[in-house]
Structure 1
Amino acid sequence: MATMHEESTEVDGITVDRDVPIAMSDGAVLRADVFRPTEAGHYPVILAMGPYGKGLHLADGYPANWRRMNEAFPEVSEGSTGRYQNWEVADPEKWVPDGYVCVRVDSRGSGRSPGFMDILTAVQTRDFYESIEWAGVQDWSNGKVGLLGISYFATNQWQVAALRPPHLAAICAWEGFADHYRDGGRHGGIACEFVRGAQARQMVTVQYGMGSRGPVDRNTGLPVGGDVDLDDDTLRENRRDLYAEVQARQLDSEFYRERSADLSRIQVPLLSAGNWGGMGLHLRGNVEGYLGAGSELKWLEMHGDTHFSPFYNDRGLALQKQFFGTFLKDEQNGWLERPPVELLVRHPGEKFEPRFEHEWPIARTEWTELHLCPETMELRTSPGASGTLSYDPLREDLRFSLPPADHDREFTGPSALKLRISSATVDADLFVSLRLLDPDGTEVTFIGSNDPKVPVALGWLRASHRRLDAQKSEPYRPVHSHDRIEPLVPGEPVDVDVEIWPTSIVVPVGYVLQLGIGGRDYSNEGTDFENAMYTMTGVGPFTHNDPVDRPAEIFGGTVTVHFGAEASSYLLLPAIPAS
């Protein structure tokens, strides 16, 4: 039944149905905007559901990102007025003319959908399922629904695909995490502060009930956060404090499992698109999502650049349309002949070399143990001297360098660091980085998904979480169980394995790859630009500075790395031989 704000308009061959009600089985009603061809017919559906406000224009909510994307890729605005652009979802003006219907749903408690805001829960996943099934039986639908979107709009795809909605035909999870604990909530057991800022910046501002105090939809003039004004106390009562939950839950638990996907249950064709510079949230999830999905037809693509440009630029759009054309339109467009893995192999200077592979990790990988040599601070293929090196974890780190070679060297894949350490206290947080230095010794950084200057790779581990899941771990990809806390005995050495998230880098002649080991976030000189949502020093919003989670009296104690015949400390790198 229509509400006073449910309406339809037609502009340039696109019919827009706004605030369409979708009734949930428990009586809740979600609101959706539907963009469809004006000409009657049965069309495949591209659907997304999330908490960022379907009526918030990308340029209004994220002006710096909008400007940077259009400056770097003017093609994003070619063939589109941009009037319907929305954060991290498809531009209808690029899809509807090709015979698709685009549906955007405000998730429960967000935008113009009433309810309790509690993201990525079983309730919300069921809402997503029912929204897919609603879209699959509408008069304008051909019965095939595909899911497309970045970040949040990718993460919940893993979850709902595991429920196997009958009308779900394919998913494209673009830079979206899969494991709520390991990929974003707690890196190696260390609380990541991202969700606290993201909830305040991007969700609370468009929560249902913000009404006239929130942003306005530039196309309708209506409040993005619903037509009612709720007071601050009521708004707080209508949402879960996500970061408080992360603070309270040091170990993996049902809270994190509910917000993670059972990847093995996914059966639909899928394309997982990850970003080498996505350290801190999505990179690991795109690889693990691809590996863990039960789908017979699945593809992995890995790129670079920002969090949004590769999704909207011509290359990304063509990739998405070829994929969905195959599974939503039954097109014979060559996608099924495509190898399962495409890697944009990264070189310094934001240069990428596309290359297809048949598996991940790459079968021809030469797993290379580079030993940490304390006498020279080098990485060598043979062990160095015995001894120890100590550091103040909150003020300094240790640096070990791989000497330059007379030929280019490629490292593409997951990495791991094995160490024997001791601490002056009962615990230690290990922050690991891989950096690239040019022949002058200056660090070379890369455009990352959420920071314009990121290193080659990052890894984290809380020493008291060192226990491995033996069934899931590989030498190149340690997986920690995070099911118990095992305090250190001050001064007593223990062996730890640190997972370093996947990467790709070609180290040119004369360049140096450097390993950093410390007890604080990687940091560079930082980057300033207008309308920045957070401070950028190389890790974007993925910081770990919470004194509740990391009290200085525990995590500020001196850490010692041990070397010797019985204490082998080495970096395991995925060397790719020259073809």
Structure 2
Amino acid sequence: MKSLALALAQVAALATPAAAEPPADPFFAYDRPATYGVHVERTRVPLRDGSHLACDLHRPADAAGRPAPGRFPAIVYDFNAYDQLAAFGAAARYYVTRGYVAAVCNVRGSGASPGRLDPFSAQEQRDNHDLIEWLGTRPWTNGRVGQLGVSYGGHTALLAAVTKPPHLAAIIPVDGISDWYENTIYRGGIYSARIRDWQRSTAPDTLVTYPRHPLYDDFWRERSVKDRWADLDVPTLEIAGWYDRYRDGMVANYQARKHNVWLVAGPWQHGMPAGQYADIGTGGFLAWFDRWLGGRPAPLPAKKITSFELPSGGWRQYDDWPAAAAHPRRFALAGDGTLAPGPGTPFAGSFEVNTEPGPGRPDQRLAFTTGPLRHDLVLAGGIEARIRAAFTATDGNLAVIVSDVAPDGTATRVTQGWLKASHRHGHQRQAAVVPGVAYDLPVHVWPTHYRLGAGHRLRVTVGSDDYPEIDSDAPAGRVTVTRGSVEFTTG
């Protein structure tokens, strides 16, 4: 999740030349000069249950530092639990000096906001709804409110949208979710070890509550955007990183709501693009809010999809994702360790389950590799694996990892997916796993936009562990794979 260092990096990057050119699109080059100062005041925003949120209001100011006269559009800026109001306020200054009110607030149970922290819960969503409506009815706002945030703040922006506050006009979620269960906590039904440090430092109560809900139930539906996609109907500019942990959810949101969602996906790790390679700057963010909140004739992105082709192919723009020219291409796993186009044939390959944290031994996974590619191969969309496997235990995990193998043998991870065998029919209920019986296991692999160069090889590995992305919690024993294929979207 977002740290203070990332917030400060965002502020510094506003004055730092980008590491690479942004897309050649007027949307990203949009700008206008700062015309206001900034007036900051601490306030308590009242909530419907009598409690309040601790907020800093950043309002456009005149030369004397007083709140400037007039009615301004407003932004809820990074509504999260990190008690970093000053840092996020500094980042919001860019918008305030261009005529926006920015509310920077601590969620319930964090900072000076009283109560119990329960991330992304219905209570937190009601609070966010109340904050938007309070802000939209102030005499110094124009009644149009936007919300912007990264990670935790990206999640809350999306969840705010599906609660449909009347004054919410547009959002910009950065590295947001479609579903907290699937994107973060139980990946393929397997608990993610990677999130525990965040739980310990930010929301320790969840170390108790989350393990009580290993299946997808009402607890998780409450925290889901996917469960309410029909209500995600405000203009939404999603900013995602192809190296980010939430890219699958961001792509899913676009595919569910193509009419009102635009997607920008860059070569970024988790966090704001500011300061990262191929930083897109702040022009597009301002254009988005100017158009939907400020009533200015600001441009939209030229295409619905703006995507950076990894690892260094540069920006591409498409009318849809996957692009119209993309097509599925299936590769089959073979008993001799090859990966080749076609449906494949039965074989038998087995590995020992790794029950220890950390990477397993090479003999604790199976690897399948193409020969050197004769032409470049672009993976540009979703990836679905289907593995037929039997377990000696009453459950098991599968981790499917896709890699790019360079001519010198160096392997670079491209993407991955996971599945607990008992969740093969979905996460709402467990399906029995009988030792020795082979099951068809559909493993959803995160989407990507990646070019493998001619002479490189495509590799798929199948194992039981992928620590820290998932816990090594499968029962001890062996897994036997008897058939498998991976369908890539290529273009």
TM-score (norm 2): 0.85
Q: Which amino acid aligns with 2:319?
A: H
- Residues 1:169 and 1:371: Cα distance change in structure 2 (over 3 Å): same
Counterpart for residue 241 of structure 2 = 275
Counterpart for residue 507 of structure 1 = 452
Deviation at 1:487, TM superposition (A): 2.2
Deviation at 1:384, TM superposition (A): 4.8
Deviation at 1:90, TM superposition (A): 7.3
Counterpart for residue 15 of structure 1 = 39
Counterpart for residue 424 of structure 2 = 466
Correspondences of 1:363-378 after superposition (within 5 Å): 363-375=324-336, 377-378=337-338
Does the CA contact (< 8 Å) of 2:399 and 2:418 recur in 1? Answer: yes
Q: Secondary structure at the match of 2:310?
A: strand
Counterpart for residue 430 of structure 2 = 485
Alignment partner of 1:308 out of 260, 264, 271: 271
Alignment partner of 2:471 out of 521, 539, 544: 544
CA offsets 1:316-351 (integer angstroms, 9 cap, x no match):
41221121111111222221x62111111112xxx2
Counterpart for residue 437 of structure 1 = 405
1:555 and 2:475 equivalent? Answer: yes
Aligned partners of 1:519, 1:32: CA distance in 2, in Å? Answer: 46
Aligned partners of 1:117, 1:352: CA distance in 2, in Å? Answer: 42
Q: Which amino acid aligns with 1:397?
A: R
Deviation at 1:543, TM superposition (A): 4.1
Does the CA contact (< 8 Å) of 1:158 and 1:263 recur in 2? Answer: no
Aligned partners of 1:352, 1:322: CA distance in 2, in Å? Answer: 26
CA-atom RMSD, angstroms? 1.9
Does the CA contact (< 8 Å) of 1:195 and 1:242 recur in 2? Answer: no
Deviation at 1:305, TM superposition (A): 2.1
- Residues 1:309 and 1:153: Cα distance change in structure 2 (over 3 Å): closer
Q: Secondary structure at the match of 1:562?
A: strand
How many positions carry a matched residue from both structures?
Answer: 437
Counterpart for residue 127 of structure 2 = 127
Alignment partner of 1:53 out of 42, 62, 83: 83
Counterpart for residue 357 of structure 1 = 318
Counterpart for residue 256 of structure 1 = 220
Does the CA contact (< 8 Å) of 1:373 and 1:383 recur in 2? Answer: no
Deviation at 1:155, TM superposition (A): 0.8
CA offsets 1:165-222 (integer angstroms, 9 cap, x no match):
1110101111011212111110011011344311322x26xxxxxxxxxxxxxxxxxx
CA offsets 1:19-40 (integer angstroms, 9 cap, x no match):
x011111100111011121131
Alignment partner of 1:518 out of 463, 466, 484: 463
CA offsets 1:250-303 (integer angstroms, 9 cap, x no match):
210011011112121122111112111113xx111111222223x743211111
Counterpart for residue 26 of structure 2 = none
Alignment partner of 2:287 out of 314, 322, 339: 322
Does the CA contact (< 8 Å) of 1:178 and 1:286 recur in 2? Answer: yes
- Residues 1:101 and 1:405: Cα distance change in structure 2 (over 3 Å): same
Does the CA contact (< 8 Å) of 1:158 and 1:289 recur in 2? Answer: no
Q: Which amino acid aligns with 1:301?
A: V
Does the CA contact (< 8 Å) of 1:14 and 1:36 recur in 2? Answer: yes
Q: Which amino acid aligns with 1:420?
A: R
Q: Secondary structure at the match of 2:273?
A: helix
Q: Which amino acid aligns with 2:55?
A: A
Q: Which amino acid aligns with 2:485?
A: Y
- Residues 1:366 and 1:291: Cα distance change in structure 2 (over 3 Å): closer
Q: Which amino acid aligns with 1:122?
A: A
Q: Which amino acid aligns with 2:37?
A: G
Q: Which amino acid aligns with 1:28?
A: S
Deviation at 1:308, TM superposition (A): 2.4
- Residues 1:385 and 1:260: Cα distance change in structure 2 (over 3 Å): closer
Deviation at 1:393, TM superposition (A): 2.3
Aligned partners of 1:316, 1:434: CA distance in 2, in Å? Answer: 31
Does the CA contact (< 8 Å) of 1:369 and 1:572 recur in 2? Answer: yes
Aligned partners of 2:90, 2:414: CA distance in 1, in Å? Answer: 29
Counterpart for residue 8 of structure 2 = none
1:380 and 2:340 equivalent? Answer: yes
Deviation at 1:312, TM superposition (A): 6.1
Does the CA contact (< 8 Å) of 2:372 and 2:454 recur in 1? Answer: yes
Counterpart for residue 342 of structure 1 = 306
Percent of aligned pairs with the same residue?
30
Aligned partners of 1:393, 1:505: CA distance in 2, in Å? Answer: 30
Q: Which amino acid aligns with 2:51?
A: A
Q: Secondary structure at the match of 1:85?
A: helix
Q: Secondary structure at the match of 1:461?
A: strand
Q: Secondary structure at the match of 1:243?
A: helix
- Residues 1:265 and 1:312: Cα distance change in structure 2 (over 3 Å): farther
Q: Which amino acid aligns with 1:136?
A: G
Deviation at 1:95, TM superposition (A): 1.7
Deviation at 1:98, TM superposition (A): 1.4
Correspondences of 1:155-166 after superposition (within 5 Å): 155-166=155-166
Aligned partners of 2:113, 2:212: CA distance in 1, in Å? Answer: 29
Does the CA contact (< 8 Å) of 2:174 and 2:272 recur in 1? Answer: no
Does the CA contact (< 8 Å) of 1:47 and 1:102 recur in 2? Answer: yes
Q: Secondary structure at the match of 2:280?
A: helix
Counterpart for residue 209 of structure 2 = 245
Aligned partners of 1:149, 1:316: CA distance in 2, in Å? Answer: 15
Deviation at 1:132, TM superposition (A): 0.4
Q: Secondary structure at the match of 1:464?
A: helix
Deviation at 1:363, TM superposition (A): 2.3
Counterpart for residue 33 of structure 2 = none
- Residues 1:485 and 1:461: Cα distance change in structure 2 (over 3 Å): same
Does the CA contact (< 8 Å) of 2:200 and 2:207 recur in 1? Answer: no
1:575 and 2:483 equivalent? Answer: no
TM-score (norm 1): 0.72
Deviation at 1:15, TM superposition (A): 0.7
Q: Secondary structure at the match of 1:166?
A: coil
Deviation at 1:311, TM superposition (A): 4.5
Does the CA contact (< 8 Å) of 1:432 and 1:518 recur in 2? Answer: yes
Does the CA contact (< 8 Å) of 2:331 and 2:486 recur in 1? Answer: yes
Does the CA contact (< 8 Å) of 1:193 and 1:243 recur in 2? Answer: no
Does the CA contact (< 8 Å) of 1:33 and 1:54 recur in 2? Answer: no
- Residues 1:433 and 1:96: Cα distance change in structure 2 (over 3 Å): same
Aligned partners of 2:194, 2:222: CA distance in 1, in Å? Answer: 19
Correspondences of 1:3-402 after superposition (within 5 Å): 13-18=37-42, 20-39=43-62, 40=68, 41-48=70-77, 49-55=79-85, 84-86=86-88, 91-201=91-201, 203=202, 241-261=205-225, 262-279=228-245, 282-293=246-257, 296-311=259-274, 315-335=280-300, 338-347=302-311, 351-375=312-336, 377-384=337-344, 386-394=346-354, 395=360, 396-402=364-370
- Residues 1:90 and 1:260: Cα distance change in structure 2 (over 3 Å): farther
Aligned partners of 1:308, 1:361: CA distance in 2, in Å? Answer: 24
Deviation at 1:94, TM superposition (A): 1.8
Aligned partners of 1:308, 1:250: CA distance in 2, in Å? Answer: 28
Q: Which amino acid aligns with 1:387?
A: F
Structure 1: gaps of 5 or more residues: 1-11, 56-83, 205-239, 445-454, 468-480, 523-538, 564-568
Q: Secondary structure at the match of 2:384?
A: strand
Q: Secondary structure at the match of 2:170?
A: strand
Does the CA contact (< 8 Å) of 1:410 and 1:575 recur in 2? Answer: yes
Counterpart for residue 373 of structure 2 = 405
Q: Secondary structure at the match of 2:490?
A: strand
Deviation at 1:143, TM superposition (A): 1.3
